[in-house]
Structure 1
Amino acid sequence: MQINNALQASYVLYHTEGCHLCELAAALLNAAEVPFTAIDICDDETLAERYGVSIPVVKALDERYLSWPFDATQLQEFLGA
């Protein structure tokens, strides 16, 4: 999964390996040139419990969340909020 400008990331993408929806979400973030860090929920039991059935999830620094399903328009609305 490509991480776009992880050092300056304003967003987190919660995902797991092999999740095709997560790959679609990452592609939308990359297409929008959004700096994000991808965090695999399987590496943390708490994250796995919290997001296990709702990934992919995009989290903003201000604690807002965007859960799948979302499209490019909904992502842009979330980013502009």
Structure 2
Amino acid sequence: MLDNTTTSPILLYGTSDCHLCEEAMDILKENHIPYEFIDIAHDNNLVEQLGWFIPVIKLQEEMIKSPIDWDTVLPKIKATLDI
């Protein structure tokens, strides 16, 4: 299980060499959504759990795996964060 030891409401799991992860970061930034990026490359357990599905967004207890349907996910994130 992935632990949230941060106060950030959104965790974005990915790697620095992932163009889909970079796209996810850009979309979150453009929509003024605060997040914390977790680079899974430094954690073999995370690579094993998420490697094929990055980027992965953790929103509260929900794990949203790639491919991300931003038309559905953005409104859900905004509603959760009351943005």
Q: TM-score range by the shorter chain?
A: 0.7 to 0.9
2:30 maps to what in 1?
31
TM-score, with length taken from structure 2: 0.77
3-state SS, counterpart of residue 69 of structure 1: coil
RMSD (Å), alpha carbons? 1.8
TM-score, with length taken from structure 1: 0.79
The Cα of 1:54 is off from its aligned counterpart by: 0.1
The percent of aligned pairs where both chains have the same amino acid is 34
User: Distance in 2 between the 1:48 and 1:35 partners?
Assistant: 24
The Cα of 1:78 is off from its aligned counterpart by: 2.8
* Runs of 4+ more than 3 Å apart: none
1:41 maps to what in 2?
40
Any conservation in 2 of the 1:9–1:37 contact (CA below 8 Å)?
yes
Unaligned runs of 5+ residues in structure 1 are: 1-6
Any conservation in 1 of the 2:53–2:67 contact (CA below 8 Å)?
no
Partner AA of 1:45 in structure 2: N
The Cα of 1:44 is off from its aligned counterpart by: 0.8
2:63 maps to what in 1?
65
1:3 maps to what in 2?
none
CA deviations over 1:26-53 (Å, ceiling 9, x no partner):
1111111111000000111111100000
1:4 maps to what in 2?
none
Unaligned runs of 5+ residues in structure 2 are: 1-5
